[in-house]
Amino acid sequence: MIILSKLADYGVIVATHLAAYPFRQLTAAAVADEVRLPRATVAKILKALAHAGLVSATRGAMGGYRLARDARSISVAEVVAAIDGDIGLTQCSVHVAECTRTDYCPTRPHWTAINRAVEHALAAVSLDAMLTPAAFIPRRRAATSQPAAN
Protein backbone atom coordinates (compact mmCIF):
# COMPACT_ATOMS: atom_id res chain seq x y z
CA MET A 1 0.00 0.00 0.00
CA ILE A 2 1.30 3.42 -0.93
CA ILE A 3 0.37 6.13 1.53
CA LEU A 4 0.99 9.86 1.36
CA SER A 5 1.95 11.52 4.59
CA LYS A 6 -0.97 12.73 6.67
CA LEU A 7 0.30 16.28 6.24
CA ALA A 8 0.34 15.96 2.42
CA ASP A 9 -3.19 14.53 2.52
CA TYR A 10 -4.30 17.48 4.66
CA GLY A 11 -2.44 19.81 2.29
CA VAL A 12 -4.58 18.60 -0.61
CA ILE A 13 -7.70 19.10 1.52
CA VAL A 14 -6.67 22.66 2.42
CA ALA A 15 -5.66 23.57 -1.14
CA THR A 16 -8.87 22.09 -2.55
CA HIS A 17 -10.87 24.08 -0.01
CA LEU A 18 -9.15 27.29 -1.14
CA ALA A 19 -9.91 26.30 -4.74
CA ALA A 20 -13.59 26.07 -3.87
CA TYR A 21 -13.59 29.75 -2.85
CA PRO A 22 -11.26 31.48 -5.32
CA PHE A 23 -12.46 35.01 -4.53
CA ARG A 24 -12.34 34.75 -0.73
CA GLN A 25 -9.37 35.59 1.47
CA LEU A 26 -9.48 32.94 4.18
CA THR A 27 -7.61 33.09 7.46
CA ALA A 28 -5.81 30.00 8.66
CA ALA A 29 -8.32 29.78 11.52
CA ALA A 30 -11.28 29.96 9.13
CA VAL A 31 -9.81 27.27 6.87
CA ALA A 32 -9.10 25.05 9.88
CA ASP A 33 -12.64 25.43 11.16
CA GLU A 34 -14.21 24.84 7.75
CA VAL A 35 -12.18 21.72 6.92
CA ARG A 36 -12.20 20.48 10.53
CA LEU A 37 -8.45 20.22 10.99
CA PRO A 38 -6.33 21.54 13.86
CA ARG A 39 -5.43 25.21 13.49
CA ALA A 40 -1.72 24.63 14.05
CA THR A 41 -1.67 21.97 11.32
CA VAL A 42 -3.48 24.20 8.84
CA ALA A 43 -1.14 27.11 9.64
CA LYS A 44 1.86 24.85 8.98
CA ILE A 45 0.36 23.64 5.69
CA LEU A 46 -0.49 27.16 4.51
CA LYS A 47 3.04 28.31 5.31
CA ALA A 48 4.49 25.46 3.20
CA LEU A 49 2.05 26.15 0.34
CA ALA A 50 2.93 29.86 0.46
CA HIS A 51 6.65 29.06 0.47
CA ALA A 52 6.10 26.93 -2.66
CA GLY A 53 4.20 29.78 -4.33
CA LEU A 54 0.90 27.90 -4.45
CA VAL A 55 -0.95 30.27 -2.14
CA SER A 56 -0.55 33.97 -1.53
CA ALA A 57 -0.84 35.50 1.91
CA THR A 58 -2.05 38.97 2.79
CA ARG A 59 -1.44 40.38 6.26
CA GLY A 60 -3.77 42.60 8.20
CA ALA A 61 -7.38 42.78 9.31
CA MET A 62 -8.69 41.89 5.84
CA GLY A 63 -5.84 39.45 5.22
CA GLY A 64 -5.80 35.76 4.66
CA TYR A 65 -4.85 33.13 2.13
CA ARG A 66 -5.98 32.32 -1.38
CA LEU A 67 -4.57 30.31 -4.24
CA ALA A 68 -1.78 32.13 -6.08
CA ARG A 69 -2.90 30.68 -9.43
CA ASP A 70 -6.07 29.36 -10.98
CA ALA A 71 -7.10 25.98 -9.53
CA ARG A 72 -6.90 24.45 -13.01
CA SER A 73 -3.17 25.20 -13.12
CA ILE A 74 -2.24 23.73 -9.72
CA SER A 75 -1.82 19.98 -9.59
CA VAL A 76 -2.09 17.59 -6.69
CA ALA A 77 1.57 16.72 -7.37
CA GLU A 78 2.58 20.33 -6.67
CA VAL A 79 0.69 20.35 -3.39
CA VAL A 80 2.19 17.03 -2.28
CA ALA A 81 5.69 18.19 -3.26
CA ALA A 82 5.22 21.45 -1.32
CA ILE A 83 4.49 19.43 1.82
CA ASP A 84 6.55 16.24 1.44
CA GLY A 85 9.24 17.18 -1.09
CA ASP A 86 10.09 14.91 -4.00
CA ILE A 87 7.72 12.03 -4.59
CA GLY A 88 9.48 8.79 -3.82
CA LEU A 89 7.86 5.48 -3.06
CA THR A 90 11.00 4.00 -1.56
CA GLN A 91 13.54 5.51 0.79
CA CYS A 92 16.41 4.80 -1.59
CA SER A 93 14.79 6.57 -4.52
CA VAL A 94 14.82 9.87 -2.62
CA HIS A 95 17.67 9.49 -0.13
CA VAL A 96 20.32 7.60 -2.12
CA ALA A 97 23.12 8.22 0.36
CA GLU A 98 21.21 6.52 3.17
CA CYS A 99 20.99 3.15 1.41
CA THR A 100 23.85 0.68 1.72
CA ARG A 101 22.50 -1.42 -1.18
CA THR A 102 22.72 1.35 -3.81
CA ASP A 103 25.64 -0.19 -5.68
CA TYR A 104 24.13 -3.63 -6.19
CA CYS A 105 20.35 -3.35 -5.81
CA PRO A 106 18.64 -4.79 -8.91
CA THR A 107 15.38 -2.90 -8.37
CA ARG A 108 16.69 0.59 -7.63
CA PRO A 109 16.83 1.82 -11.26
CA HIS A 110 13.20 0.85 -11.78
CA TRP A 111 11.92 2.87 -8.82
CA THR A 112 12.87 6.06 -10.63
CA ALA A 113 10.51 5.19 -13.48
CA ILE A 114 7.78 4.17 -11.04
CA ASN A 115 8.18 7.42 -9.07
CA ARG A 116 7.90 9.38 -12.32
CA ALA A 117 4.70 7.52 -13.25
CA VAL A 118 3.13 8.31 -9.88
CA GLU A 119 4.23 11.94 -10.15
CA HIS A 120 2.73 12.18 -13.68
CA ALA A 121 -0.53 10.68 -12.42
CA LEU A 122 -0.74 13.22 -9.58
CA ALA A 123 0.30 16.02 -11.94
CA ALA A 124 -2.59 15.13 -14.22
CA VAL A 125 -5.12 15.98 -11.50
CA SER A 126 -5.75 19.67 -10.84
CA LEU A 127 -7.27 21.18 -7.72
CA ASP A 128 -10.17 22.20 -9.92
CA ALA A 129 -10.78 18.52 -10.75
CA MET A 130 -10.72 17.70 -7.04
CA LEU A 131 -13.75 19.95 -6.58
CA THR A 132 -15.95 17.70 -8.67
CA PRO A 133 -16.93 14.66 -6.61
CA ALA A 134 -17.84 12.53 -9.61
CA ALA A 135 -14.80 13.49 -11.71
CA PHE A 136 -13.04 10.18 -11.13
CA ILE A 137 -15.96 7.79 -10.97
CA PRO A 138 -15.97 5.60 -14.06
CA ARG A 139 -19.04 6.12 -16.16
CA ARG A 140 -21.27 3.12 -16.58
CA ARG A 141 -21.76 2.07 -20.13
CA ALA A 142 -25.34 2.05 -21.23
CA ALA A 143 -26.51 -1.49 -21.66
CA THR A 144 -27.17 -2.12 -25.29
CA SER A 145 -30.41 -3.91 -25.73
CA GLN A 146 -30.22 -6.64 -28.26
CA PRO A 147 -33.43 -7.92 -29.72
CA ALA A 148 -34.14 -11.47 -28.62
CA ALA A 149 -33.41 -14.02 -31.32
CA ASN A 150 -36.32 -16.30 -32.17
pLDDT (tens, 9 = 90+) of the chain, 150 residues, equals 567 889 999 999 999 999 999 999 999 999 999 999 999 999 999 999 999 999 999 998 888 999 999 999 999 999 999 999 888 777 666 656 667 777 777 887 788 888 889 899 999 999 999 998 765 555 555 444 455 555
The beta-strand segments (E) located in 1-150 are: 55-58, 64-67
Whether 136 is in a domain gets the answer: no
Q: Is the sign of the CA dihedral 132, 135, 137, 140 positive or negative?
A: positive
**How far is the C-alpha of 95 from the C-alpha of 100, rounded, in Å?**
11
**How far is the C-alpha of 70 from the C-alpha of 36, rounded, in Å?**
24
Whether 150 is in a domain gets the answer: no
Asked whether 49 and 79 are in contact (CB, 8 A), the reply is yes
Whether 14 is in a domain gets the answer: yes
Which CATH number does the domain housing residue 112 bear? 1.10.10.10
| Amino acid at the residue 119 | E
What is the reported pLDDT for 96?
A: 61
Domain membership of residue 92 as a residue range: 6-130
Whether 51 is in a domain gets the answer: yes
CA distances 91 to 15, 97, 101, 118, Å, are: 26, 10, 11, 15
Closest CA to 18 of 55, 58, 73: 55
Whether 93 is in a domain gets the answer: yes
Domains contained in the chain, number: 1
Whether 69 is in a domain gets the answer: yes
Whether 47 is in a domain gets the answer: yes
CA distances 41 to 21, 30, 66, 118, Å, are: 20, 13, 17, 26
Alpha carbons within 13 angstroms on the beta-carbon side of residue 103 total 1
Asked whether 62 and 24 are in contact (CB, 8 A), the reply is no
Whether 143 is in a domain gets the answer: no
What is the reported pLDDT for 70?
A: 96
